[in-house]
Amino acid sequence: MGSISFRNVDKVFGQGTGGVKALDDINLDIADKEFVAIVGPSGCGKTTCLRMVAGFEAASAGSVLVNGRPVTAPGPDRAVVFQQFALFPWKTVRENIELGLRNKNLPVGERNDLVASALKLMNLETHVEAFPHQLSGGMQQRVAIARAYVLDPEVLLMDEPFGALDAQTRVVMQEELVRLARHNPRTVLFITHAVEEAVYLADRVAIMTRRPGRIKEVLDIKAVRERENWDSHARIEDVMDLESFVHLRTHIWKSLREEKGFKDV
């Protein structure tokens, strides 16, 4: 089980008159095993939404619920994949993936099995004993995803996870994430500023306004995807060529462009 709810959430940074309102009355419900992407202009507070679910920030007003319970602190039930990977440079690939399981006090045998399957899932078997700095950016992000997946979290929070990767690696990772998400669905909250990425990956896309961020529109991608059978195309460029994809993408672009100051982005 893993559902996420934002109920009338406000977020203000700073205090008193110097305070800046980052989020204004956010309402969003994400169902169990649903993949929702939030897109919006830079600085609209989309990352703040994710950080509140993760428990790194508290809402100034309203509530953030996971499975109906308010979030109080970070925890392994809500695994985060960071944009800058945030791997522990002094730990090998295995040790990075293993830490969360050790924190759960799982017995060694079970731990090893889980690590092995996570390594297999993300094609990391040949780099088990490598240190992060010996890996390419794409490989590092695989480790970060494996570290999150291995915990079998109720909710997976991905904060522009492919933002730091080069274009080609990015495409490969997007395809792999689609493969993972379709075959082994999780509740995912995915933050990105890349419109194509959001449409390609998500079941629903929420579009945010400029600061103070509000949710402007939520698009149902899944209905279109299933109707037009996107998943019969293995490659991202083939999906992106489909008329239905182009239509959704253009719609989101127009919606973003309406935002005041779009050209500053």
* Angle of helix 93-103 versus helix 137-149 axis, rounded to 10: 20
Contacting another protein (CB under 8 A), which of 12, 65, 86, 121? Answer: 86
Q: Which two tokens stand for residue 263?
A: 């050209």
Interface of this chain with another protein, residues 97 to 136, rule: CB under 8 A: 99-100, 102-104, 131, 133
- Shortest approach of another protein to residue 48 CB, angstroms? 14
Interface of this chain with another protein, residues 29 to 48, rule: CB under 8 A: none
Dihedral pair phi/psi, residue 159, rounded to 5°: -100, 95
Q: Is 75 in the site for another protein (CB under 8 A)?
A: yes
Q: Is 6 in the site for another protein (CB under 8 A)?
A: no
Q: Is 13 in the site for another protein (CB under 8 A)?
A: no
Q: Is 88 in the site for another protein (CB under 8 A)?
A: yes
- Shortest approach of another protein to residue 160 CB, angstroms? 12
Rg (CA), the chain: 19
Interface of this chain with another protein, residues 145 to 174, rule: CB under 8 A: 147, 151
- Shortest approach of another protein to residue 23 CB, angstroms? 19
Task: Kindly compute the dihedral angle of the four CA atoms of residues 147, 150, 156, 162, in this order, to the nearest 10 degrees.
Answer: 40
Q: Is 54 in the site for another protein (CB under 8 A)?
A: yes
Contact 26, 244 (CB under 8 A): no
94: left (phi over 0), alpha (psi -120 to 50) or beta: alpha
Task: Kindly compute the dihedral angle of the four CA atoms of residues 104, 1, 119, 73, in this order, to the nearest 10 degrees.
Answer: -50
Contacts of 161 (CB under 8 A, 6+ apart): 81, 82, 83, 141, 144, 145, 173, 190
Q: Is 72 in the site for another protein (CB under 8 A)?
A: no
Of 102 and 179, CB closest to another protein:
102
What is the binding site for another protein (CB under 8 A)? 54-56, 73-76, 78-80, 82, 84, 86-91, 99-100, 102-104, 131, 133, 147, 151
